[in-house]
Structure 1
Amino acid sequence: MTTTYFHGGTVWTGGGTDARALLVRDGRIAAVGAPAEAAASDADLVIDLEDGFLMPSFGDGHAHPLFGGLEAEGPDVRPCRSVAEIVDEVRRYAEAHPELDWITGASYDGSLAEAGLFDARWLDDAVPDRPVVLRAWDYHTVWVNSRALELAGIDAGTPAPELGEIPRRDDGTPLGTLREWGAVDLVAAVMPPRTTDVALRALQRAGRYYLERGVTWVQDAWVEPAELEAYLAAAAADALPIRFNLALYADPRRFAAQLPDMVAARDRVRAAASPRLTADTVKFFADGVVENETGALLEPYCSGLHDHGMSVWGAERLADAVRAVDAAGFQVHIHAIGDAAVRQALDAIEGAIAANGPRDRRPVIAHAQLVDDADLARFTELGVIPNMQPLWAQLDALMTVLTVPRLGAERADRQYRMHSLAASGAALAFGSDWPVSSGDPRDGLAIAATRRTVDGDPAGGWTPHEIVPVEAALGAYTAAVAHQAFADRADAAWGRIEPGASADLVLLARDPRAADPHDLPGIEVRQTWLAGTPTLGAPTSGDGDHAAAGLEHPNTRPVSERTAALPS
């Protein structure tokens, strides 16, 4: 049994109080404040916080860690700022890897081509003889070369797929850009499976990325069978670097056959008995996103191009599926961007409660970009957790160029009602959607507490009445995510510093509550502890996001076809 004594700084418990000392015994909090000081002589290890800020580690309530870790496995296209740069990088990578039958990579900026439409022939110039598949920042769009189209059987005669789009040239031939699952799956079906070694490397990279930013628990918000196998392999090898909960993806095209497999998947994860892996959640998409007018709205889009947007399931089918998943004991996690989708999701959850009776279910609605006034109080009434991405609540180029023109100024100013939801009593929790946008909680904290861009615009903050103060934002990244994760129970507690809880901690160089919120991304992370074990060597610091295992993700969002469908 190892006992560690922390002193010499601020210990933020997450419960509204500060202390000056902490005692950790065998990976759990043993004492806080004066009781810890009284027991200091029992410590095997003494850590001087050097005026730092010790707090519960962060959680990420909505992300795609395996995707993020895989970005280092192919051509390095993320930093490219032109189509020519992407093509050159693909050429370089292909020439360096003649042994690869397929060239795959992620994730390119979809705004580099007009309307996000990329031509297969551009990639043909780099690699004409092997298939090339690149994912966009949205992770719902891919750009492929002609060889990949050929192998997938996609030609002028291929019909428009369900839940997908194949943009075409004037002569009807496929351009080379594939949007949404129905189209992307045509290529995915003929790609070679990912090897276990590659998946394990990706999870290690993702874990390192998160630990360097003080995160110890992540909700993987979209897990299909291949990803499940990767996590199980990592668990079997005792190679999971942090805690993960898996949200098994519910596909409206084959849900009836999926549910028994989901139950079996949960059973397999439980049988693996890893303290760092659970699979207790099912993920639904209620709609798309505003930026390509597939987010489902109560009132039509300003252009009217797609009218009210897209309902992925339809109200009745979503309600039936949510009720079935809830009856099987899963937590429900629903992507809902538009106000019509949010209402549909709330209705489905309300129906499940009525049909299946009371229990501790903690359903989640992710993003909740637009919430109608009539639905605001329903989050609290139904016990629904709004998991929101604070980094998106800013007037960056994506918002001003793509979002606002589609919603109109008045409706656009009702987006990301974080303060309103929290004030209504809802259990507001934060997530990142990494690698779509930065997975660094410091970046999200800065936007939550200012609603200003990295350049400081606008001076008073966009819709400043929706600002979430720093301490409340810290709670949304810690205790609230723990609540979402069912990790505020005595047998599995983290997210607060209190006796009996797991010592999942992060040490910041200074108190974020005393800093200018705009400067929060630059506060150094000195160390992260998982169940009392330190996880980092050198500390990290910098402006916003910084590299981890070769991955970099800016704290601003590109104007790109990432907006065509956020993988949430």
Structure 2
Amino acid sequence: MRRIFSTIAFCLLLACIAFAADERILYNGKIFTADTTHPYAEAVAIRGDKIVAVGTFAEVSKAVSGSAEKVDLKGNLLLPGLIDSHAHAVDGGLSLISADLGESASTMEDLFKFAAESRKNGRGMMGDVLDVSGLPLEYWSHNKELNEHFNSGDYAKVPVYLEGMDGHTAWANKVLLERAGINKQLISGLDQTARGYYGFSKDLEPNGFLVDLGNEKVEQIMPKPDAARMLSAARAAVDYMHHLGITAWLDPAVSDAILAAYRGLAEKGELKSHVGALPVIAFKKGDPDGQFKHALDLRESFKDVPDVKVIGIKVFADGVAEIPSQTAVMSKPYLNTGRTGELLFKPEDFQRICVAAEKNGMIIHVHAIGDQAVTEALNGIQAARSSNPSSKLPHTITHLQFVRPEDISRIHDLKVIASMQLLWARAEVDSTKLLKPYIDPYLYGWQYPARSILDTGATVAGASDWPVSTADVFQAIYTAETRKGPEGVLDPSQRMPREAMLYAYTINAARALDRQESIGSIAEGKQADFALVDRDVLTIAAEDVRDTKVLWTVFGGETVYGAKP
């Protein structure tokens, strides 16, 4: 009997040692919990990958053993792991390891130099094609210079593909256009709407500019990254997100190749992030029902893959609004053309797919830039809600650049999450010179109406659309609060409260992933995901918010960026 008691005591001792080694108390800092009932705390205790207590130091100390490790936050601000509700992460990873112009150029000469270097060092070569991404949209106004430079000399026989930073526009030289079958004969056979996806001269010769469906025609014949390169891109994306304090994201528009890269990382135990993945239903490609069935099959195939799940579908309602594209669908015509953009689905087809998604428990995530595209997106989600009034699925509309006031209330009433890239809600070339002269003045006045959406009680979730723009949360928070850009201030009435933006990038974004029960706030029972930042972003001057740095990031109790806490 004595031997039995000794064995039990020894086992209990081992258990206590194990708990102590796996237990920590984080204290001596400001803690924003993103729990609206208790938004701030003094300390938090974790055991393994879970949070076991939140409150005062004395309170959380009772939840762990006396040997728990004490982690001094040294007065810094602890946040829940940050969440991005719309980021093309693997595509972003590809931009990190490829020839992405980013902020490397401000003149045409800078572009020409960057392209030459990218060709020479091989960073920009995809097969035999020189592929440079991340071009600012104002470069498309220099079509003459692009044609002169990339259709002669060293490039006379080299296919060249220049991708716009918006992910919708591009430019191809004559060699690549010919390879894709884009020529005068093609343009002349298109109707007026279809011609809008191509740039061309008065005699219908293509000039290289491409947008949306025109761009897709070139992408179809572009050399594709192999599996090893996709895995490297996914790994680079995870590292990038972690250094920004981001531990979860929604990846909209995943291909089978992107999903394979996520699976590869997850099965190696390297993903260490929560990923909600959305395949695209592209109505213009035909057979949307077959595409939806494929999405359901993907969900099934990923149900046991750790950290990454297929949780819904992505649908493009329209394109983009800036000139020369103007493919966003507006309720009033563009002032320079009289056209309104093309809806990328038939409303009845979209509504049918929305009802099917609702029936199968799939989230609907809609790209909508123009105000009429927003209306049609809401109509589809309304059909889904009507088919299942008790639904709690977090259907989402993303971008929401132009929204009419009557639709702002519908966002709330239909329980739609507004996934907004508020880094864009500032006065800059893209939102002024490339838009204002061409958009109906009334509609232009309802650009990125984030505060109006928030004031209805609707859920606003933070998003970046990386690699279209940086995924740095604090730059986005600064812009959302100030609406300041290089061209001035964009509609100050839509400025967002700073605390609301912290909720947007934590618990609200978790709702967009349908993961609010397990992540998104610092609360007992949730996963121990944290980001420690170097300043109190709740109290400092707005101008200082954008320079905030992440000191360390923790995912499931494990440090994935920075010095181990």
Interval of TM-score (by shorter of Structure 1 and Structure 2):
0.7 to 0.9
**Cross-structure match for 1:279:** 310
- Deviation at 1:103? 2.8
1:258 paired residue number:
291
Q: Indicate the SS of the match to 2:329.
A: coil
Q: 1:164-215 CA distances to partner (integer Å, 9 max, x unpaired)?
A: 72322455433223221x2223222223331111111111221122111111
Give secondary structure in 2 for the equivalent of 1:287.
Answer: coil
For the residue of structure 2 that corresponds to 1:167, the secondary structure is: strand
CA contact (8 A) 1:69 1:203 kept: yes
Q: Which amino acid aligns with 1:56?
A: P
Which residue pairs with 2:49 in the alignment? 27
1:191: which partner in 2?
222
Tell me how far apart the structure 2 counterparts of residues 68 and 427 of structure 1 sit (CA, whole Å): 26
Q: Residue 506 of structure 1 contacts residue 529 of structure 1 at CA under 8 Å; is this kept in 2?
A: yes
Deviates more, 1:241-250 or 1:74-83: 74-83
**Match of 1:405, SS?**
coil
Match of 1:552 in 2: none
- Percent identity among equivalent residues? 27
> Using the alignment, how far apart are the partners of 2:315 and 2:144 within structure 1?
27
Distance 1:324 1:132, change over 3 A: same
Query: Which residue of 2 is the match for residue 53 of structure 1?
Result: 77
Matching residue within 140, 144, 154 for 2:168 = 140
Give the letter aligned to residue 538 of structure 2: R
The alignment status of 1:152 with 2:180, answered yes or no, reads yes
Worse-matched range after superposition: 332-341 or 185-194: 185-194
Report the 3-state secondary structure (helix = DSSP H, G, I; strand = E; otherwise coil) of the residue aligned with 1:446: helix
Letter paired with 1:6: L
Could you tell me how far apart the structure 2 residues matched to 1:314 and 1:278 are? 29
**CA 1:190 to 1:307, structure 2 compared with 1: closer, same or farther past 3 Å?**
closer
| Equivalent position of 1:338 in the other structure | 370
Q: Supply the distance in 2 between the matched residues of 1:75 and 1:445 (Cα, whole angstroms).
A: 28
Q: Is residue 296 of structure 1 aligned with residue 329 of structure 2? A: yes
Structural mapping, 1:314-325, within 5 Å: 314-325=346-357
Tell me if the contact between 2:54 and 2:60 (Cα under 8 Å) persists in the aligned partners: yes
Correspondence for 1:376 among 405, 408, 412:
408
Where does residue 499 of structure 1 map in the other structure? 524
Q: Residue deviations 1:483-510, cap 9 Å, x none?
A: 1111122xxx111111101111111112
Whether 1:72 and 2:96 are equivalent positions in the alignment is yes
What are the ranges of 5 or more consecutive residues in structure 1 without an aligned counterpart? 540-568
Residue equivalent to 1:307: 339
Give the secondary structure class of the aligned counterpart of 1:401: coil
Q: Which residue of 130, 138, 149 corresponds with 1:103?
A: 130
TM-score (structure 1 length as normaliser): 0.87
Using the TM superposition, give the Cα deviation of residue 39 of structure 1 relative to its aligned residue in structure 2, in angstroms: 4.9
Name the larger-Rg structure. 2
SS for the counterpart of 1:481 is helix
Match of 1:556 in 2: none
- Which residue matches 1:423? 455
RMSD (Å) for aligned C-alpha atoms: 2.4
Q: TM-score, normalised by structure 2?
A: 0.87
Residues 110-158 of structure 1 show CA distances to partners (whole Å, capped at 9, x for unaligned) of: 3124266774552243434443323111212222233322322333222
Query: Which residue identity is paired with 2:289?
Result: A
Query: Is 1:477 matched up with 2:505?
Result: yes
- Tell me if structure 2 keeps the 8 A contact 1:81–1:112: no
Equivalent of residue 30 in structure 2, options 4, 7, 10: 10
Q: Structure 2 vs 1, CA of residues 485 and 6 (structure 1 numbering), >3 Å: closer, same or farther?
A: same
CA, structure 1 residues 398+153, in 2 after alignment: closer, same or farther (shift >3 Å)? closer
Post-superposition Cα deviations, 1:208-238, rounded to whole Å, max 9, x if no partner, equal: 2211111111111222333233323333333
State the match for 1:447 in structure 2.
Answer: 479
Match of 2:6 in 1: none
Residues 397 and 190 (structure 1), Cα distance of their counterparts in 2 relative to 1, 3 Å cut: closer
Aligned partner letter, 1:295: A
**Cα distance, 1:334–1:10 mapped onto 2, change above 3 Å:** same
Report SS of the residue matched to 2:198.
coil
Cα 1:299–1:11 change in 2 (3 A) is: same
- The alpha-carbon distance between structure 1 residues 508 and 189, as it changes in their structure 2 partners (threshold 3 A), is same
2:387 is equivalent to residue 363 of structure 1 = no
- Compute the displacement of 1:421 (Å): 1.4
In 1, Cα distance between the equivalents of 2:378 and 2:142?
33
SS of the residue aligned with 1:404? coil
Q: Deviations over 1:372-414 (max 9, x none)?
A: 2222222222111111111122122222212222335443232
Counterparts of 1:82-97 in structure 2, within 5 Å, are: 82-97=107-122
Question: Which has the higher mean CA deviation after the structures are superposed, 362-371 or 144-153?
Answer: 144-153
Give the aligned length. Answer: 528
Q: Alpha-carbon deviation of 1:248?
A: 0.9
- Point out where structure 2 has 5 or more consecutive residues left out of the alignment: 1-18
| Mapped pair 1:404 → 2:436 | yes
Structure 1 residues 294 and 193: alpha-carbon distance in aligned structure 2, compared to 1, 3 A threshold: closer
The residue number in structure 1 matching 2:556 is 531
Q: CA deviation at 1:83?
A: 2.8
Paired position in structure 1 for 2:249: 218
